[in-house]
Amino acid sequence: MENNEFNCSICLEKINDMNFVFDDIFECISTIKYCATELFIRGFHTASYMCYKKNRYRYLVIDGVSDNSIVVKRILRSKMCMHTYVVSYYFYNYITASVLPHDLLILI
């Protein structure tokens, strides 16, 4: 890797009051991959584990937007999914062509 190569990823996580069966949920709303896939996955795992150690979450919810699909595919190789659901985002008074989920990042 050259010194001037930018090598970083971003993970946006929402800490909220959502829970499932009385356990708090850790929700990953978006990720942005700016590095090799293996480094990205390792970084996501490390960051998630650090948050788990601090807050003792039992469940992880990952929205199906941006580069989260990379993370989800990797997780499903070794873990079983408890539940999946479809979520849609609608914007009032906003018209644009449809955007594929992996091309989308919403910041509120």
Q: Give the CA distances from residue 78 to residues 73, 75, 81, in Å, rounded to whole numbers and listed in that order.
A: 10, 6, 10
The owner of tokens 């971003």 is 10
Domain-located, residue 2: no
pLDDT digits (tens, 9 = 90+) for 9-27: 555 555 555 555 557 778 8
Return the closest-CA partner of residue 14 out of 2, 22, 26, 1.
Answer: 26
What's the Rg (C-alpha) of the chain?
Answer: 15
The owner of tokens 């479809």 is 86
What is the edge-to-edge ordering of all strands in the sheet holding 59-62? 8-20, 23-34, 59-62
Domain-located, residue 1: no
Domain-located, residue 19: yes
Domain ranges, residue 41:
8-103
Domain-located, residue 108: no
Which pTM does this prediction carry?
0.69
**Higher confidence at residue 106 or residue 77?**
77
Domain-located, residue 3: no
